[in-house]
């Protein structure tokens, strides 16, 4: 992010970046197993868009210019590779936090 921002525009990003140890542990757990897999970057981008869209598949698929079934596949594949159930709010939050941390520290995708 560049330029001047207020608290509303940065959201919880400062908290995501504040604790490096926790952030890196989350990235190792929720991002790395997927990133290194075949099509890992597309899978991570799909999950990020889906989480950013409030877990609304149609909106996220439109944003990504993919068919909703493609996005559903990517979400299922993420859950398999990361061994996580994104229907569990606590797990979805950890995955979101890890994706935000990864994007902010490594330039891995877009954050909001």
Q: Read off the CATH number of the domain in which 60 is found.
A: 1.10.10.2840
Residue 32 maps to a domain? yes
Residue 111 maps to a domain? no
Q: What are phi and psi of 44, to 5 degrees?
A: -65, -40
The token duo for 109 is 């995708």
The token duo for 16 is 């995501």
pTM of the predicted structure, to 2 decimals: 0.80
Residue 1 maps to a domain? no
Residue 99 maps to a domain? yes
Number of DSSP helices (H) and strands (E) in the chain, helices first? 8, 0
Number of domains in the chain: 1
Instruction: Dump pLDDT digits (tens) for 85-99.
Output: 999 999 998 999 899
Residue 110 maps to a domain? no
Per-residue burial over 30-66, b = 16 or more CB atoms within 10 Å of its CB, e = otherwise: bbbbbbebeebeebbbbbbbbbbbeeebebbbebbeb
Instruction: Dump pLDDT digits (tens) for 53-102.
Output: 999 999 999 999 999 999 999 999 999 999 999 999 999 989 998 998 89
The range of the structural domain enclosing residue 53 comes to 12-105
């Amino acid at each position: 992010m560049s330029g001047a921002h207020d608290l509303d525009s940065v959201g919880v990003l400062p908290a995501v970046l504040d604790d490096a140890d926790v952030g890196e542990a989350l990235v190792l757990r929720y991002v790395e197993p997927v990133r290194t897999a075949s099509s890992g970057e597309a899978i991570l981008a799909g999950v990020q868009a889906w989480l950013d869209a409030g877990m609304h598949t149609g909106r996220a698929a439109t944003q990504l210019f993919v068919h909703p079934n493609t996005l559903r596949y990517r979400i299922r594949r993420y859950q398999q590779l990361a061994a996580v159930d994104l229907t569990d709010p606590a797990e979805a939050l950890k995955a979101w936090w890890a994706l935000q941390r990864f994007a902010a520290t490594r330039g891995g995708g877009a954050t909001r």
